[in-house]
Structure 1
């Protein structure tokens, strides 16, 4: 018999931490090889983790909602079978921790009761992916993050800042801000919210709510609109969609056609494909298009089509179909939702004429496409004006006015519409 150290497995490229959602086994329980031991979360993706050995659970080192480093020992299993050898990833993780002095999480440290105090709001708080993952796992809102003093360069939050804050019992969770200058203060209004069925928000809905509030608080949103005539695109798709599916074994929706037009517009206006980092603007080299996708639960998730500008139409169709199917089946991986540089939301799917989308931070803009609707339009021709039935759609672009001005946003949005309207009816599949 020997004790096996079960470690938090690697969840995907660039994922350094995961939050424990639920243990399916307790101390003293037996577990078989490949039987599910626990459920973990990375950003918006939840994953079930199977055991790599058979045996008896001796100790569980972390509790639900604890954030754990990849490669950290999370459970001890007594086994008399063959113990898996340490992988190169485990060794690399251990060596990195030793050389960098990365502090371990402290899940068993008891929180101290700290009375509510005043705090100073860090209005320029920068939330790195690491800080974001820790905050999401502990349900710390972006507003609360702004209350934590940062010890990094220019007051940035470091991992140690938020871990120490959590260990201290989140003293600023319900505190009132220190007002240094006169200005508008949100009144504490006691609204009558009425009576009815109370539904507790699930973990994903809480994260979406925090993300939306943070985005509106961080970025001064401005929305621009254009109207596009999609008659040629609609007619071409209707004509070739059966041939396309027979040839490529993929359904041809409008999404890959839209993404193709967007990628071309981004290449013409690369500043739209950027993020703000303090006082610097980062213009992304890759064009990774996020697609806001509805889940059966009603929540939204944003799977990402990577390097969209380098994919032909069959590859775009295959990628979008696969991601949408995985999203609806709850099979998206952490890498599937990572690294978007621009996001599209098809509100027309729900019958909406147009929408005013909220920016998917830390991106600079987001596009909403409305329903494609037949309308009578006045068309100019050599022999005068005529009235024709055309397939029309509204496009709306919400952009961060800190880094995107109206001229850039308007030009970019018009370019997308032009790409859609100038669709080649003679295009071969």
Structure 2
């Protein structure tokens, strides 16, 4: 018999740890080759970790909600082979589950209204990443952490210590403050609790109570904190895409025959967006405190629908370097793998600007919320036939044109109305100048 060490696998160069969310097997269970053993949540997506060996699960080293570093042994499997072997399993990504990147965004947003939790306090106390994450999420300030008596080595505050403190804090009476006082003195987590006390929801016997999914909760917090973080402003413009519609209808069959890919409007529009960003690089930035980070690469996030109705944002890396064929292949590949739940963690990170197609749901326009830490997001409305005034040398007349609205949401802290408006005005010029006679 041999003991195999199942290690937490690598899941992308920027992923250093994961949280155990659920064990799919118990000690004593028989394990088949490639059978999923445990579910984990990384900084980007959730994964199932399968086994690369057959045997019996004899030991589980980490429990649910524990945070584990990449490369750490998480379980022991006994096999018929001889010798001890350490196995690094390969995760099967299930992107239909919650994207944990939003948790980092939530922590960043909370920093605006509460002091940051550093590794070491002024008194010299050390706080682990897990304790700091719990404190930031639950609205526990550094000053409060200093008052907690630690039961760990050298008096360190452990996970159990801070959870016990939070539980006691919730049970203790709270003074309901006025809205003005709440905004000035409370963290987002505390505000949420106070509002719940002030305005309880009325439920009668015929109402159905549905628990929000974990992803739904995270997305809700991400959206609220994005609004709290960024000063959202929108600009709108209507674009005549008649030439694009005619050109696509003319070449789509030949495109599919030559490239083996369906040509939709998305890659055409994404290519135009990438070209526009090159002209306005100050839209391709993020904010870090009082500093602006100007991104070198143009990585376009593309909101895609998942089978369960949720959305995920895979990223087209270096989008400005792709021609139409390359863009089409990238768009189709990411969309297909999103539907099939086979995206990798690296596929959904590193975005610098996001595009969402609200027209796919029949909307003519929308006001999207910025995907932090980016500073802008573009919403594409539905393409529709409308009557329009057409100017000619012989005079004006009414004709049928294919048009769409584009909505641009941007962070007014760093993007003023001129830049936000010129961006979509230039996008309009690029799309309306589409050459009907060009090849693909």
TM range (shorter): 0.7 to 0.9
Q: How many residues align?
A: 384
Mark the runs of 5 or more structure 2 residues left unpaired by the alignment.
Answer: 90-99, 136-158, 184-190
TM-score (norm 2): 0.79
Distance in 1 separating the partners of 2:278 and 2:102: 34
Equivalent of 1:306 in 297, 317, 336: 317
- CA 1:154/1:347 → structure 2, altered by over 3 Å: closer, same or farther? farther
* Residue of structure 2 equivalent to 1:15: 15
- CA 1:42/1:180 → structure 2, altered by over 3 Å: closer, same or farther? same
* Residue of structure 2 equivalent to 1:58: 58
Distance in 1 separating the partners of 2:165 and 2:272: 49
| Contact in 2 for aligned 1:148/1:162 (Cα 8 Å) | no
Equivalent of 1:366 in 373, 377, 401: 377
Indicate the SS of the match to 2:46.
strand
CA drift at 1:323: 0.8
Equivalent of 1:264 in 261, 275, 290: 275
CA drift at 1:144: 9.6
Indicate the SS of the match to 2:382.
coil
| Contact in 2 for aligned 1:215/1:359 (Cα 8 Å) | yes
Q: Are positions 1:398 and 2:409 aligned together?
A: yes
Q: Are positions 1:151 and 2:128 aligned together?
A: no
Distance in 1 separating the partners of 2:45 and 2:14: 14
* Residue of structure 1 equivalent to 2:93: none
CA drift at 1:428: 0.4
Equivalent of 1:220 in 213, 225, 231: 231
| Contact in 1 for aligned 2:3/2:84 (Cα 8 Å) | no
- Give the number of the structure whose residues are more often helix, by fraction: 2
Deviates more, 1:205-214 or 1:342-351: 205-214
Render the CA deviation track for 1:38-66: whole Å, top value 9, x for unaligned: 12222453322111233222211122232
CA drift at 1:396: 0.3
Indicate the SS of the match to 2:68.
strand
CA drift at 1:332: 1.3
Deviates more, 1:240-249 or 1:39-48: 39-48
CA RMSD of the aligned region, Å?
3.2
Equivalent of 1:190 in 194, 197, 200: 200
- CA 1:201/1:182 → structure 2, altered by over 3 Å: closer, same or farther? closer
| Contact in 1 for aligned 2:103/2:222 (Cα 8 Å) | no
Q: Are positions 1:378 and 2:389 aligned together?
A: yes
What are the residue-to-residue correspondences of 1:136-285 with 2, within 5 Å? 143=110, 149-151=116-118, 159=129, 161-162=131-132, 165=135, 166-167=159-160, 168-169=162-163, 171=165, 185=183, 188-192=198-202, 195-285=206-296
